[in-house]
């Protein structure tokens, strides 16, 4: 089980341009990360809040709908969040310019 | 108690006018309001969760594995799509108002100092970015040790700013050569004098501003102090000490002690015989053993590493942790050490200014009297690039605090030149004329809080605060990588 988790995260991390990968639980606490401690805590807290807001926005517009994926594109890179009931998978990619 | 009738005062006859006035009728209206819906909510603050929570929290491994199995395919698909996507090519968003050109926001001066023909030798912004201070002195002539001089500060955020009237003026008995505001105290400023003294003032108390001084002891510099800096103390990083460099070859660290006296805590001395011999230097004139230091810059990445600019034109990489004793006979209450670790290839003349890049640990710039800027990497003695910016002297060079590829230089021809290495590595992107009669610009500093501001002081005694165009304040998408590439051009 443990090995499968590590394998999957390693596969994602080794993708082209990926700068960091982390898994955050439902309370916004990081569980796995490839970045340093302070950066991870910052990303985890902020993106957890943003994901909750995005999810409630989608459901307010249409209660039958739900958030499946969140992407934030910034000048320097792209942050992708795959949300779930219990966890969040956050991947930061530096796309080819 | 019976009330006595008072004598009523006589009517005073006086000539007077009577006027009556009446306000115009005031318009009024009535409306009634009532809330129809209301909601109750209770609010309570929670104690903020401590930062740095454990990263390996209690979790259920099978559930985590199941989650990852569910999302992996989708995430990989999105990563691949993103890598090949051209959807955002050339797409730029502007969040701030675009400023197309460089404009002069303020022209500040102190008439009594300008009347004496004093130059602005140094400018400094305080920690909040709202106060700019300048030091008056002279950079061209020799003995001005008896000339009274000034340190003036203007608070740019105050309403009713009078450019000719500084918010604080400190009179100083000798020409001030350099100035540096305290990193956390908004009103403390350190200055180095022509006489070799180092003083610390508090500009919020104009009646009695002097806080500490070195006085003229055996420890004090015997030559003009060219640059002062504040450094965090090694053990108490919220307290600071002052570092001063002078052409007597000494680099000294001072701490404020009791009775307003700056005590020497550590000292370094540069001696020709102890310079690292990795670069062949011209032999100094006979009898001269000291190497005059004219500029200093600390690297933001390594707190004990610093670069010194020298009168001989060669930058030196030095370390605060050096232990070898200096072979000098200069008296000192603290043992002087030899700090130099590496000698870089020289300019054609003395260096006036050095600046370490805030974005790359190995890059620094130096500027000197040969009119050239050298871009050095800490890893090699030869400069990575040598640019001629002026046919006269260059007095100051500073990296931009926000754009990794931008730096500014002050020239003896009266311009402030802004270089953007992304646009051109040969000529300046913008050349701002500061003085009308081509008299030199002696100093410049970027404002770290309001990053569009640049202050520059010149030989006419004026400080001009320039507002930079947006191209100089917003980082491009791959600048840090481009800088990295530039630094990697180290010859192998």
Q: For residue range A56-72, list pLDDT tens digits in order.
A: 999 999 999 999 999 99
pLDDT at B337 over 80: yes
- For B64, which of A29, A87, A97 is closest by C-beta distance? A87
B401-411 tens-digit pLDDT: 888 888 999 98
B290-335 tens-digit pLDDT: 888 899 999 888 888 999 999 888 899 999 888 888 887 778 888 8
pLDDT at B134 over 80: yes
Q: Does B86 touch chain A (CB under 8 A)?
A: no
Question: pLDDT grade, residue A88 (50/70/90)?
Answer: very high
Q: Does A39 touch chain B (CB under 8 A)?
A: no
A95 to chain B: closest CA residue: B83
Residues of B in contact with A11 (CB under 8 A): 72, 76
Using a cut of 0.90, tell me whether the model's pTM lies above it: no
CB B378 within 8 A of CB B361: yes
Return the pLDDT at B55. Answer: 45
Q: Does B75 touch chain A (CB under 8 A)?
A: yes
pLDDT at B4 over 70: no
Mutate to test the interface with B, among A71, A84, A85 (most CBs of B within 10 A): A84
What percentage of chain B reaches a pLDDT higher than 90?
18
What does the mean pLDDT of chain B come to? Answer: 83
Residues of B in contact with A15 (CB under 8 A): 76, 79-80, 83
Question: pLDDT grade, residue B381 (50/70/90)?
Answer: confident
What percentage of chain B reaches a pLDDT higher than 70?
90
Contact state of A1 with B76 under an 8 Å Cβ cutoff: no
């Amino acid at each position: 089980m443990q090995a499968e988790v590590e394998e999957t995260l390693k596969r994602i991390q080794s993708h082209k341009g990926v700068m960091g990968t982390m898994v955050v639980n439902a309370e916004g606490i990081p569980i796995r990360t490839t970045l340093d401690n302070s950066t991870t805590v910052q990303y985890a807290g902020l993106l957890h809040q943003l994901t909750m807001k995005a999810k409630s926005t989608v459901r307010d517009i249409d209660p039958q709908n739900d958030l499946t994926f969140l992407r934030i594109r910034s000048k320097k890179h792209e942050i992708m969040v795959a949300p779930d009931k219990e966890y969040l998978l956050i991947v930061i990619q530096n796309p080819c310019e | 108690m019976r009330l006595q009738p008072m004598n009523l005062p006589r009517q005073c006859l006086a000539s007077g006018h009577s006027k009556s006035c009446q306000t115009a009728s005031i318009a009024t209206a009535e409306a009634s309001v009532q809330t129809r819906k209301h909601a109750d909510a209770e609010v309570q603050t929670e104690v903020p969760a401590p930062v740095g929570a454990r990263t390996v929290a209690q979790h259920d491994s099978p559930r985590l594995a199941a989650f990852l199995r569910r999302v992996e395919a989708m995430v990989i698909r999105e990563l691949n799509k993103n890598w090949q996507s051209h959807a955002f090519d050339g797409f730029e968003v502007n969040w701030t108002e675009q400023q197309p050109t460089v404009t002069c926001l303020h022209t500040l001066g102190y008439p009594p100092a300008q009347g004496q023909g004093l130059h602005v030798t140094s400018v400094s912004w305080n920690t909040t970015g709202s106060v700019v201070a300048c030091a008056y002195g002279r950079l061209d002539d020799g003995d001005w040790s008896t000339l009274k001089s000034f340190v003036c500060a203007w608070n740019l955020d105050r309403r009713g700013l009078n450019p000719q009237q500084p918010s604080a003026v400190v009179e100083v008995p000798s020409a001030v050569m350099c100035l540096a505001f305290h990193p956390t105290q908004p009103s403390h400023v350190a200055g180095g004098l022509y006489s070799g003294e180092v003083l610390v003032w508090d500009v919020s108390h104009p009646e009695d501003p002097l806080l500490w001084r070195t006085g003229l002891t055996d420890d004090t510099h015997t030559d003009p102090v060219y640059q002062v800096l504040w450094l965090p103390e090694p053990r108490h990083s919220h307290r600071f000490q002052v570092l001063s460099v002078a052409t007597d070859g000494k680099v000294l660290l001072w701490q404020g002690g009791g009775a307003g006296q700056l005590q020497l805590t550590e000292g370094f001395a540069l001696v020709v015989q102890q310079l690292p011999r990795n670069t062949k230097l011209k032999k100094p004139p006979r009898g001269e053993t000291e190497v005059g230091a004219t500029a200093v810059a600390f690297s933001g990445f390594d707190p004990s590493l610093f670069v010194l600019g020298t009168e001989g034109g060669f930058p030196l990489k030095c370390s605060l942790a050096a232990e070898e004793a200096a072979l000098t006979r200069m008296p000192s209450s603290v043992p002087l050490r030899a700090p130099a670790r590496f000698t870089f290839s020289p300019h054609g003349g003395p260096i006036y200014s050095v600046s370490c890049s805030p974005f790359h640990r190995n890059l620094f710039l130096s500027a000197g009297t040969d009119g050239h800027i050298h871009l050095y990497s800490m890893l090699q003695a030869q400069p990575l690039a040598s640019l001629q910016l002026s046919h006269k002297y260059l007095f100051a060079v500073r990296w931009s605090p926000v754009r990794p590829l931008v730096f500014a230089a002050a020239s003896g021809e009266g311009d402030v030149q802004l270089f953007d290495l992304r646009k051109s590595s040969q000529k300046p992107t913008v050349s701002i004329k500061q003085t009308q009669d081509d008299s030199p610009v002696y100093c410049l500093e970027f404002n770290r809080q309001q990053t569009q501001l640049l202050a520059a002081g010149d030989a006419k005694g004026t400080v001009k605060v320039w507002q930079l165009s947006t191209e100089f304040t917003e980082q491009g998408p791959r600048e840090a990588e481009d800088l990295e590439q530039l630094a990697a051009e180290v010859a192998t």
